[in-house]
């Protein structure tokens, strides 16, 4: 998890950003959050115990 957080942090930190890229970053992050919430809602009620796999 730390490696993923560092990679995302490095990807979105730069000294020179144009306004277009800042808007794009916000859209990408919003889509990522929406995707994560969708996956969490789909797995609600599903038995994800080790016996499933």
The domain ranges of the chain are: 1-43
- Of 27, 2, 4, 22, nearest in space to 12 by CA: 22
Tens digit of pLDDT at every position of the chain (53 positions)? 788 778 777 776 665 667 777 788 889 889 999 999 998 888 887 776 776 66
- Of 36, 16, 34, nearest in space to 26 by CA: 34
**Helices and strands of the chain, counted as H and E runs:** 2, 0
CA contacts within 13 A on the Cβ side of 8:
10
The pLDDT of residue 6 is 81
The pLDDT of residue 49 is 73
The pLDDT of residue 52 is 61
Q: Please tell me the pTM assigned to this model.
A: 0.54
The pLDDT of residue 35 is 94
């Amino acid at each position: 998890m730390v490696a993923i957080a560092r990679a995302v942090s490095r990807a979105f930190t730069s000294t020179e950003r144009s306004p277009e890229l800042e808007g794009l970053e916000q859209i990408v992050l919003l889509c990522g959050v929406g995707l994560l919430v969708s996956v969490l809602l789909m797995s609600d009620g599903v038995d994800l115990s080790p016996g499933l796999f």
